[in-house]
Amino acid sequence: MARHRFARRASARRKLSPARLSPRDVLHVGSGGLRSRPLRVVLSALGIAIGIATMISVVGVSASSQEQLMRRLDRLGTDMLVASPGESMFAGEDVKLPKNAAGKVGRIDGVEEAGATGTVDTTVRRNDKLPEEESGGITVQAASQELLKVVRGKTASGRWLNGANGRYPAVVLGDVAAQRLGVGQAGAQVWLGDRYFTVVGILAPLPLAPELERSALVGWDAAERLLDFDGHPTSVYERSTDDSVSDVRGLLAPTIDPENPQDVKVTDPSAKLQAKAASEGAFNSLLLGLGGIALLVGGVGVANTMIISVLERRYEIGLRRSLGAACGQIRIQFVTESLLLSGLGGAVGVVLGAAATGVFAHVDGLPWVVPLWSVAGGFGATLVIGTLAGLYPAVRAARLSPTLALHAA
């Protein structure tokens, strides 16, 4: 061994400043305590994992159901409007839409299709032996041929009204109406008004026009001839190009009734669905709160683990101080340890939460959506918790007098 190893007086004259630990070294010292106690790491990270998993899955499940509604809305389109008689009926005045309302609407710029229904004052029953009150909430309506196309409906069985069957005692049932009447397939007979009508078709569900789902639809001509229908539509459905929706909305009422446009009410059925999608997006705050509490308890668990870790490792702290660790470096070591601990819990929680959402979505046939903001937020929360939980123990560790730490008990 060479004598010069110890002859370094010259260097001693330089200014003393502690060396920085590289990020890798910080990670190394910060993870040392965790590596030596894997079981404790798992147990104290568990609380945080459960909290984050709960929150991620709560957000994920509601985002998934919302996504499904949004996709359905996309399919159905938001370009349909419905015009119906306004409220002035209550003033004793009988407001009616003009007979040719659908035709007029069809000529508005941008309108692609227009169809109409008119309520017929009669009932439909399974057979004539049932009392008239047993209508099951089904309304009988006259429907124009264009209606199905406007509402983008399909028949689940049989077919839609057309020029031929629309003149005869033929009826198309909405899916709810068919169910209530106990009609499973086209071809059956139902008692409508004062005679049997043949069910020529049953409609598939119509999310944008639930009122049609509960209707028995009769051809316009047949309704006028056989059921004393006055020919005035009670709803005019129209679908326009996407960019003309707002223009059309303004033109509908004045076009239908130029003299009394205030008597025409215009509604947007997709608005209801949109509102529903928005409310599905509002997650279950009770569950979210529970997740938050689990997270908090997890944070307390981490803080507790850290305090014990500092107590147990007094010698290590003393040793590191004797090796030249400054207070700040001891502090960083324990904050890093705490961050790793809670970060681990957070990462596991994110994976568990995403998996739980996936299982739920799969079972319910929903699209699997885990919003990025919830992952980022959840993980960010664990880092904040890790810092807070580690700060006090770390400050205590750094304040520990090196000689006391080294004193063999």
* Binding stretches for another protein (CB under 8 A): 1-9, 11-13, 16-22, 24-25, 29, 32, 35-36, 315-316, 318-329, 401-403, 406, 408
Minimum separation from the CB atom of position 17 to another protein (A): 6
Which CB atom, from 7 or from 282, has the smaller least distance to another protein?
7
- The residue (of 286 and 323) whose beta carbon lies closer to another protein is 323
Based on CB atoms, which residue is closest to another protein, 34 or 70?
34
What is the closest distance, in whole angstroms, from the C-beta atom of residue 287 to another protein in the complex?
41
Closest CA to 367 of 56, 75, 72: 72
Minimum CB–partner distance for residue 342 and another protein (Å): 23
Q: Nearer to another protein by C-beta: 103 or 328?
A: 328
Q: Residue 241: how many CA atoms within 13 Å on its side-chain side?
A: 5
What is the nearest approach in angstroms of another protein to the Cβ of residue 21?
A: 7
Nearest distance from residue 23's CB to another protein, in Å?
A: 12
d(CA 81, CA 244): 12
Please identify, using beta-carbon distances, which residue of 172 and 405 lies nearer to another protein: 405
Cα torsion angle, 117, 123, 128, 130, sign: positive
- For residue 292, CA distances in Å to 55, 120, 341, 385 come to 7, 56, 18, 12
Using the 8-state DSSP alphabet, how is residue 142 labeled? E
Closest contact distance (angstroms) between CB of 329 and another protein is 7
How far apart are alpha carbons 387 and 381 in whole angstroms?
10
End-to-end CA distance of the chain: 37
What residues pair up with 267 in beta bridges, in sequence order? 82
CB 360, CB 64: distance < 8 Å: yes
Identity of the residue, 24 or 107, whose beta carbon is nearer to another protein in the bound complex = 24
Cβ within 8 Å of residue 170, ≥6 positions away: 161, 197, 198, 199, 200, 218, 219, 222
